[in-house]
Structure 1
């Protein structure tokens, strides 16, 4: 035990078992062509070496520090949500976390956090410059289009710097598809059971993607499950709970983690036959990228104007 967290390390021994034949891999829109250039290591979606814990969140296990370096803790006035770092200045979260239209000054984002409300030496705290809800999100249907972007306010001209405990996850392309029954990970500081009233240190759990037809059947969620949502759950009752909203459903492809879902809603926590429902991120990839790209252009233009005024140049 290290404090209140379980930690361990693995020996560098190759597994002796081989992957099962016929296992389907995630479907990419365009297969990468051959290249003579050296393969570049992705700048996103990589966990700290020897920090990948094994686990079964509610019904899950303690995550090691650095196991989910893209996790963001969002303290919104008197409420709490999670989010996922997708670039230096941007967090993806759930729109329903902002239903009460909080002031930006009431929001605090902590990266690198392991225990709830604990700002240790590995954490970085940011104010919020802006938060943007998906244009078609409405409080009258809070489970539909449940996605928001949060822009961090720079500190000394920078947002998040990459460390072993802080790094972005990869955003999926709009055509990335993980097959039904794929195993993915959820993580968060939420309640340990449905009637709990306190938060925890970071927990993780493994869930499987459930076929859409099964989740939208009358005995599960029926017509409440719409396009742009996906369901994931586990027979061992691993599930997200209150306080986990906005956190990631992270699915791996070739050792790289992608933000495939956002923890959104569900009937209770860990109830049999009632899996968690997630916002399907690939459907919103174009919107996410357009908002981030537009923000970068605006920042460049403002910087140019500031420099011009400062040096009293003429156009």
Structure 2
């Protein structure tokens, strides 16, 4: 299941993670618990975390549909499936930054002026290369997160977002620690759907109970470096259900497309 948010779920087709052609509309019955075992984020814990939503009327909580990460003062990284329908109208998107609480008075809304969708999104399998960049109308007063450049195996990862909790969508982002799942085990869990070159997995294979879910799409998967800093290694992409044993969450692997991402950012800087 592609992990869309409240604002997009009702009208969007989603991939079930079984085959590239298995699609169905999200209904209320599809919304499974998020971050079981997780907890609300504290202010300042994820300063580069943003919500992505539609411009127009309504509160940020009502308009937010996906997550993203500030990777430069004017660029946000998110999932391609979150914004692919906005390619012809990127100015219909905004980001919400400055707080983990979508009802906070400190929240800042910034317009999006352009969008770069991964050119090989959906190749070689349905949700491969699930990444996109948003160019902001003006710089945000946020220190960008450092992005992973080398593929690696990890022990424990961390994810954060405003996704479904089983009791609705929270206004305060929640975070959860996730065991790393190696490519072989993830391929066994999702035969024919998992691509180890462009994806990585995290979750408790045996017990389930910890995962990202609907509404967390585009948000970060994090790993600590040798200095204890949070490094962006993945983007919330898809999974079969949420927090189910044997069905880990699947994430776009940032190290795979880091060069293409830099090229796109350089193109914007050069006015292309």
The TM tier, using the shorter chain, reads 0.7 to 0.9
The aligned counterpart of 1:95 is: 80
Q: Given that residues 218 and 236 in structure 2 are in contact (C-alpha distance below 8 angstroms), is that contact kept between their aligned partners in structure 1? A: yes
Post-superposition shift, 1:101?
2.9
The aligned counterpart of 2:152 is: 178
Question: Residues 228-243 of structure 1: matches in 2 within 5 Å?
Answer: 228-234=198-204, 235=207, 237-243=209-215
The aligned counterpart of 2:96 is: 110
Question: Residues 118-197 of structure 1: matches in 2 within 5 Å?
Answer: 118-121=103-106, 123-138=107-122, 142-154=126-138, 159-162=139-142, 167-173=143-149, 176-180=150-154, 182-193=155-166, 196-197=167-168
Q: Given that residues 219 and 236 in structure 2 are in contact (C-alpha distance below 8 angstroms), is that contact kept between their aligned partners in structure 1? A: yes
CA distance in 2, matches of 1:161, 1:230: 31
Q: Given that residues 73 and 113 in structure 1 are in contact (C-alpha distance below 8 angstroms), is that contact kept between their aligned partners in structure 2? A: no
Count residues in correspondence: 226
The aligned counterpart of 1:82 is: 67
For the residue of structure 1 that corresponds to 2:86, the secondary structure is coil
The aligned counterpart of 1:244 is: 216
From the two aligned structures, give the one with the greater strand fraction.
Answer: 2
CA distance in 2, matches of 1:200, 1:161: 22
Post-superposition shift, 1:292?
1.1
For the residue of structure 2 that corresponds to 1:73, the secondary structure is strand
| Structure 2 gap segments, 5+ residues each | 1-33, 56-62
Return the TM-score normalized by structure 2.
Answer: 0.77
Post-superposition shift, 1:177?
3.0
CA distance in 2, matches of 1:206, 1:147: 22
Q: 1:114 to 1:228 in 2, by over 3 A?
A: same
Higher relative contact order (CA 8 A, sep 6+): 2
The aligned counterpart of 1:264 is: 237
Post-superposition shift, 1:124?
2.0
Which among 43, 51, 58 is matched to residue 35 of structure 2? 58
Post-superposition shift, 1:256?
1.9
Post-superposition shift, 1:152?
0.6
Post-superposition shift, 1:114?
1.8
| Structure 1 gap segments, 5+ residues each | 1-56, 300-315
CA distance in 1, matches of 2:239, 2:172: 22
Q: CA RMSD in A?
A: 2.1
